[in-house]
Amino acid sequence: MTVRVPAKVNVQLSVGPLREDGYHDLVNVFHAVSIFDEVVAKESESITVQVDGKWSDQVPVDDTNLAIRAARALAKHAGRTYGADLVIQKDIPVAGGMAGGSADAAGALVACNELWGLGLPIEDLMEIAGDLGSDVPFSLIGGTAVGTGRGEQLSELPTGGTFHWVFALANGGLSTASVYAECDRLRAATGAQVPWPQLNDSLMEALGTGDAYALGSNLSNDLQAAALNLRPELAPTLDAGRQHGALGAIVSGSGPTCAFLAIDATHARDLAQSLTATGAAHTAVAAHGPVQGAVLI
């Protein structure tokens, strides 16, 4: 069973105050884009994982791998002992703020649900996904959606067209936990009162009408300052994208991938070429969204 599952970019990531449980309440607008991992599940006596493709050497293949955890959680939910050899073909950056690990977990849930003949509905898979991580449920459904709570409570958002993106991929990753910790540190240092996160109505309208110019001017990420503090070299990359005509430039999620909104597909190709030709990014990839979530192929 082979499942294709997309990366995501956060077009709005608003982070509320630190909660007693260590999490933050979020307003997190996810947008699935056409950079994909593939997860293959084959019959086996036990649950294992192998990773091929880009950045494969950076992905653990032990019990910490999120795809293994997803397969085991699905088997536990079904009340049976199952096995599967999982093979992940990586194309989504690792620790890049694009939900690569979450995508692989979603892919494993869909692939193993089919391999084992469980026939569980999407509602069951979403419940299991929410226990695995805040981004995993969105990787199942794709499209565009707003996540609240820790980001796992999803409401799908209508999108009025296709948006074109360029992603500048950085060397090395950033730990999501370290970026949130830096965000909390920076907030504590200023002593500012952190507001309750709110959905940006102008961004919602831009998504609904397919207005790339309006969307570009409304991109926001409360983690961006923390990511830039940890990786200052990202700031010149963002500036270069703006100078080359990006409608909006933002760190994707917890970073370090930088996302640039383009006017159309031609502009996206030109922007990607400009970023690499000038040395502003060592790798830049054009993509579009929204796209479907985890799907059998």
Do the annotations mark residue 102 as ligand-binding? yes
Do the annotations mark residue 95 as ligand-binding? yes
Catalytic-labelled residue, pool 8, 37, 90, 104: 8
Strand extents, DSSP E, the chain: 2-18, 24-43, 47-53, 84-90, 144-148, 153-156, 163-169, 220-221, 248-251, 258-262, 283-289, 295-296
Q: Bridge partners of 169? A: 283
Do the annotations mark residue 103 as ligand-binding? yes
Do the annotations mark residue 93 as ligand-binding? yes
Other CB atoms within 10 A of residue 189 CB: 8
Do the annotations mark residue 117 as ligand-binding? no
Other CB atoms within 10 A of residue 77 CB: 17
Q: Which residues contact 256 (CB under 8 A, 6 or more apart)?
A: 96, 97, 170, 172, 173, 174, 227, 231, 234
Do the annotations mark residue 100 as ligand-binding? yes
Do the annotations mark residue 9 as ligand-binding? no
Which three-class secondary structure state does DSSP give residue 207? helix
CA–CA dist 173, 156 (Å, integer): 29
Residue that is written with structure tokens 């294992």 in the block: 48
Known catalytic residue: 8?
yes
Catalytic-labelled residue, pool 37, 135, 211, 222: 135
Q: Are 135 and 8 in contact (CB under 8 A)?
A: yes
Do the annotations mark residue 33 as ligand-binding? no
Nearest partner of 264 among 212, 217, 214, 216, judged by Cα: 212
Query: What is the CA angle 170-139-203, rounded to 5?
Result: 75
Do the annotations mark residue 293 as ligand-binding? no
Query: What is the CA angle 61-62-65, rounded to 5?
Result: 70
**Which pair of tokens denotes residue 10?**
């956060």
Do the annotations mark residue 98 as ligand-binding? yes
Which three-class secondary structure state does DSSP give residue 55? coil
**Which pair of tokens denotes residue 234?**
């990202």
Known catalytic residue: 42?
no
Do the annotations mark residue 97 as ligand-binding? yes
Q: Which residues sit in the known binding site for ATP?
A: 93-103
Residues with a catalytic annotation lie at 8, 135
Q: Which residues sit in the known binding site?
A: 93-103
